[in-house]
Amino acid sequence: MSKRNKLQKFSELLTFPNVFENFSYREPVLTGVDGEPIDLRGHWNERHFGQSRPITLELACGGGEYTLGLARMYPNRHFIGVDIKGARIWKGARKALAENLPNAAFLRTRIELIRHFFGPGEVAEIWITFPDPFLNSPNRRLTAPLFLEEYIKVLQAGGLIHLKTDDPTLYEYTLEVLATRTDFQLEYHDHDIYAKPLPMPELDLKTTYEHMHLEEGRRIKYVRFRALQPQ
């Protein structure tokens, strides 16, 4: 993608009513339309969506394929895709507007900052779909302890986290991490979800990366675990 195209997309993001952005690690302030500061922490339902419904995050959402798919599947729930890449956010947000999906929104920020933008217990579920496995940097994996500490600060008691991946290292690593935690409970895992009937309809949603992995003959893995303690 050319620099000009990226700059055009970044400019368009400022006009999207379903996109909120943060650019400073040291000053975690959200901006909305036209770059105006907005405080949504603890108030996403009332100040953005306009009604109180369960909120689900898709972390490292890319183009927001799962965010959009879930929003279509569950119109009575709210979904927010989170990613730091503006060009990817633009793609999903633009499609949500074109399809008139008022229950889908996007947050452009670093995932480790989510506690600054969501209040305690404000999030009901988190989806992590085909993240970078960071084979040489375990601490950067989205199921590493440092990230789990952030998730539990915003999840409601009993809130779910879903991991969908093709990578066996990330899958096994996640199970190993969960075995050491007392604040999360492993609920379900499967190293080859399509070898049998799916346990839930959400797993039938497929991202572009998943289609590529399936064409390469890779097995798709899934882990579901639950937050036990509100923070």
The domain ranges of the chain are 41-227
Question: What is the average pLDDT across 191-220?
Answer: 93
Tens of pLDDT, residues 43-97: 999 999 999 999 999 999 999 999 999 999 999 999 999 999 888 899 999 999 9
- How much of the chain, in percent, has pLDDT values that exceed 90? 84
Q: Is this model's pTM higher than 0.85 or not?
A: yes
Q: Among all residues, which ones are annotated catalytic? A: 132
Q: At what angle do helices 86-98 and 3-13 cross, to 10 degrees?
A: 50
pLDDT tops 60 at residue 231: no
DSSP string, the chain: --HHHHHHHHHHHTT-TTEEE---SSS---B-GGG-B---TTTIIIIIISS---EEEEET-TTTHHHHHHHHH-TTSEEEEEES-HHHHHHHHHHHHHTT-TTEEEEES-GGGGGGTS-TT-EEEEEEES----TT-GGGSTTSHHHHHHHHHHEEEEEEEEEEES-HHHHHHHHHHHTT-SSEEEEEEES-GGGS--SSGGGG---HHHHHHHHTTPPPEEEEEEE-S--
Instruction: Specify the pLDDT at position 5.
Output: 80
Answer whether CATH 3.40.50.150 is correct for domain 41-227: yes
Tens of pLDDT, residues 132-146: 999 999 999 999 999
User: Given the DSSP bridges, would you call strands 155-165 and 221-227 parallel, antiparallel or unpaired?
Assistant: antiparallel
Confidence band (pLDDT; 50, 70, 90) for 229? low
Tens of pLDDT, residues 100-131: 999 999 999 999 999 999 999 999 999 999 99
User: Given the DSSP bridges, would you call strands 184-190 and 55-59 parallel, antiparallel or unpaired?
Assistant: unpaired
pLDDT tops 60 at residue 30: yes
Instruction: Specify the pLDDT at position 14.
Output: 86
Instruction: Specify the pLDDT at position 26.
Output: 82
pLDDT tops 60 at residue 2: no
